[in-house]
Amino acid sequence: MSVPQPEAQFSAHDRELLARAGAWDQCPDLRDFSSEKLVQIAQSYGLDFATAILYDRVLRHDHHGAFFQRVRSPASAAKPPALVGIVRGAFYHEHKNTGADGARVTEIVSSLNCAVECVPLESFGSLTRNATLIGEWLRKHQRETVMLISLSKGSADLKVALGLPGAAELFCNVGAWISLSGLVQGTPLVAWLRRKQLRQIGVRCLLWLRGHRYSVVEELRHESDGPLVNWPAVPSHLRIIHVVAFPLCRHLAHPWAKRAYERIAPLGPNDGGGVLLDTVAKIPGTVFPVWGADHYLQPAWDATPLLRRVVLEAMSPNAALRQANPSAAQPIRPPANRSTA
């Protein structure tokens, strides 16, 4: 199974930018990237360079870089689970054009001859409500080996499910969780919307007309008092793989991506869907960065083969994928000063 050729994913301009990022001798590893530091780099050198620097340093991280190379290498021997559960994103009923309905992921999993089922969630349910529904679904499938794939807000729902009473038992048969553009730390778009009072009123009205609650928006806030600020205990056997988009402005393909990108650009590199990329230095598990794609993972080049390889590699029995560290920001030994893009 081939992955997208570098020529399709990386333009000549991208390669030159990444080469400069790889040669930059400051901030040599992922631990150096606080939110404040990334904003400083973006202000001094531009948002594109800050994005490239962070992408390069993710690939230098021993754990993340090794997984990246395995995905781009010939397929490993996979051991498919009995069932793959798709945890869909926000408004999956109303906005299928975002990919939140999980149709593409379902097609990928089905092509691997795996049983797949969408976890029944509310289209814009509260974190607690959807987490409870995830727990109920897992309880029904405790006799099967399970992999979970979540999309955008679905990742926030699943993170909260890890903190449910009895979560250790609920997740005992879940071997891997792949989070696609997950809002696992919330989004600063909530604060942006709070500052735009007329727009906020419009959003409140629209949600009310569709039978949704604005309080769910507030649950997704990227703030110190938000429900997503801390991580619950992660079972040691659970593999977590975060697929994170790393776009420059010119890579933004989805009609909604550019507005979101610009609204939080003053806070640093972001994926065009509300996710600040500085979270990659803070979240537990493995980070797989996707250069040239925005939050919706529907770039001009075909990303489907790459996502298929990520799913296959997550099914690999490779012990290196296991949740060995509590955080992505662990001590690392950077390789030579170059990008592996």
What span, in angstroms and rounded, lies between the C-alpha atoms of 137 and 115? 15
Residue 98: per-residue pLDDT: 81
Residue 74: per-residue pLDDT: 75
Residue 126: per-residue pLDDT: 96
Residue 92: per-residue pLDDT: 86
pLDDT mean over 21-47: 93
Residue 7: per-residue pLDDT: 58
pLDDT in tens, 134-170: 999 999 999 999 999 999 999 999 999 999 999 999 9
297/337: higher pLDDT: 297
SS (H, E, C) 246-280: ECCHHHCCCCCHHHHHHHHHHHCCECCCCCEHHHH
Q: Where are the domains of the chain?
A: 6-185+231-318
pLDDT in tens, 187-229: 999 999 999 999 999 999 999 999 999 999 999 999 999 999 9
Amino acid (one-letter) located at 307:
L
- Average pLDDT over all residues of the chain: 89
pLDDT mean over 33-59: 95
295 — pLDDT class (breaks 50, 70, 90) = very high
Q: Among residues 335, 270, 214, which one has the least CA distance to residue 51?
A: 270
Residue 331 has pLDDT above 80, yes or no: no
Residue 79: per-residue pLDDT: 86
Residue 328 has pLDDT above 90, yes or no: no
Residue 329: per-residue pLDDT: 37
Q: Which of 97-101, 191-195, 228-232 has the lowest mean pLDDT?
A: 97-101
The single residue listed with the structure tokens 């490993």 is 76
326 — pLDDT class (breaks 50, 70, 90) = very low
Q: Among residues 296, 340, 339, which one has the least CA distance to residue 151?
A: 296
pLDDT mean over 261-286: 96
pLDDT mean over 98-103: 87
Residue 77 has pLDDT above 50, yes or no: yes
Residue 33 burial by CB count (10 A; 0-12/13-18/19+): exposed, middle or buried? buried
Residue 42: per-residue pLDDT: 96
334/207: higher pLDDT: 207
Residue 322: per-residue pLDDT: 53
The single residue listed with the structure tokens 């793989």 is 241
What angle separates helix 12-23 from helix 47-60, to the nearest 10 degrees? 70
Residue 321: per-residue pLDDT: 56
pLDDT mean over 303-318: 91
Residue 5 has pLDDT above 50, yes or no: no
* CATH architecture of residue range(s) 6-185+231-318: 3-Layer(aba) Sandwich (3.40)
